[in-house]
Amino acid sequence: MQLKIFTVDAFTGKPFSGNQAAVVPLSQNIDDATMQKIATEMNLSETSFLAPLNADGPDAWTTCSQFSLRWFTPVCEIVLCGHATLAAAHVIFQNLGNTNNQLEFQTLSGTLIARKENHLLLLDFPENDPLSLTSEEEQTLSPLVEAVLGEEKPRARTVAISRTLKYLMVQLDDGCTRHDLENIRPDSRAMERLHDGSKVKAVIVCVKGRPGDREDAQEGVEKEYDVLSRFFAPWYGVDEDPVTGSAHTVLGPFWSRRLGHKELSCYQCSPRGGKVVVRTRGDGRVDIIGQAVTVITGHLNL
């Protein structure tokens, strides 16, 4: 059996930045174990598997607007992934020649919508508002926060949790800078020893953007960001994820309230780095907006 496969850099307009995802359009059914083996072989933070719904034949990929979509890390299937959804929509539109302006994906997180917005792609995702920790959670998770912040230990202003995604969000004090955020060196193995993944599957560390936090100045473009973040998920087999769409379903509602903006310009400060625009809508949904670029096109031989 031979299947097409693409690798896409998401939340970026240029190759070798943003977050990598593999995308596999399924021309034939394969079992879950094989999907997991492919994701493990690719060894990227996520691999997407797509199939048209209610359509078949040679024109299905170009005319269908509804698809099943699943995401696998190198170690397990997950319930929500932003950058791999962006990558999947990009492949359908750009590589497979789909003629629709909007796509619907049936996923473990319900129906997700992707649509074209000028040269960008917009993802309609569920909002995952972070909530305050209980006193028991504060006590239990405090050592984990210390392991994430590392030896430098910049001061945390707020620690909250999205219980739906099991994402712990650590907001650094406003006195902290992008330099402080980028200098954090989490001990991933200590994180795994301190917590079994039952309550927390990933940790977001974020800080308010400052006037000096700019990107692409060397290209003559100066862009200030409202929110800067990093994302760590050793329980998913991903010590640090380069750019995480699902994390921005948590960051969006939190920072929208705090800053009083419905639209946020965000930058994830991993070594690869990537840009995400988040719009909070007030209806329990958020729009996650970004670019993507195909880097590799090939085939899987099974």
User: Does residue 280 surpass a pLDDT of 80?
Assistant: yes
Q: What is the pLDDT of residues 191-205, one digit of tens each?
A: 999 999 999 999 999
- Radius of gyration of the chain, Cα coordinates, nearest whole angstrom: 19
Per-residue pLDDT at 103:
98
Spatial separation of the C-alpha atoms in residues 254 and 207, rounded to whole Å: 12
How high does pLDDT run on average in the chain? 93
Spatial separation of the C-alpha atoms in residues 160 and 262, rounded to whole Å: 20
The 10 Å CB-count burial string (b at 16+, else e) for 28-44 is eebeeeebbebbeebeb
Expressed in percent and rounded to 5, the helix, strand and coil fractions of the chain are: 25, 40, 35
Is 151 noted as a catalytic residue in this protein?
A: no
Residue 81 backbone dihedrals phi, psi, to 5 degrees: -145, 125
Tokens of 26: 């399924």
Residue with tokens 């902290």: 176
> In whole angstroms, how far apart are CA 11 and each of 83, 147, 272?
7, 28, 10
Fill in the amino acid letter for 98: N
Q: What is the pLDDT of residues 113-159, one digit of tens each?
A: 999 998 999 999 999 999 999 999 999 999 999 999 987 678 889 99
3-state secondary structure of 91: helix
**Nearest 5°: CA angle at 275, between 84 and 166?**
55
Spatial separation of the C-alpha atoms in residues 238 and 231, rounded to whole Å: 9
> Are the C-beta atoms of residues 71 and 47 closer than 8 Å to each other?
yes
> Are the C-beta atoms of residues 191 and 144 closer than 8 Å to each other?
yes
Q: What is the pLDDT of residues 213-247, one digit of tens each?
A: 655 444 444 468 999 999 999 999 899 999 999 99
Among candidate residues 46, 104, 127, 137, the one labeled active-site is 46
Residue with tokens 């219980």: 163
Count the neighbouring beta carbons within 10 Å of the beta carbon of residue 268.
30
Tokens of 186: 């989490």
What residue ranges define each of the domains in the chain, with the CATH number in brackets? 2-127+290-301 (3.10.310.10), 131-280 (3.10.310.10)
pTM value > 0.85:
yes
Q: What is the pLDDT of residues 167-219, one digit of tens each?
A: 999 999 999 999 999 999 999 999 999 999 999 999 999 999 987 665 544 44
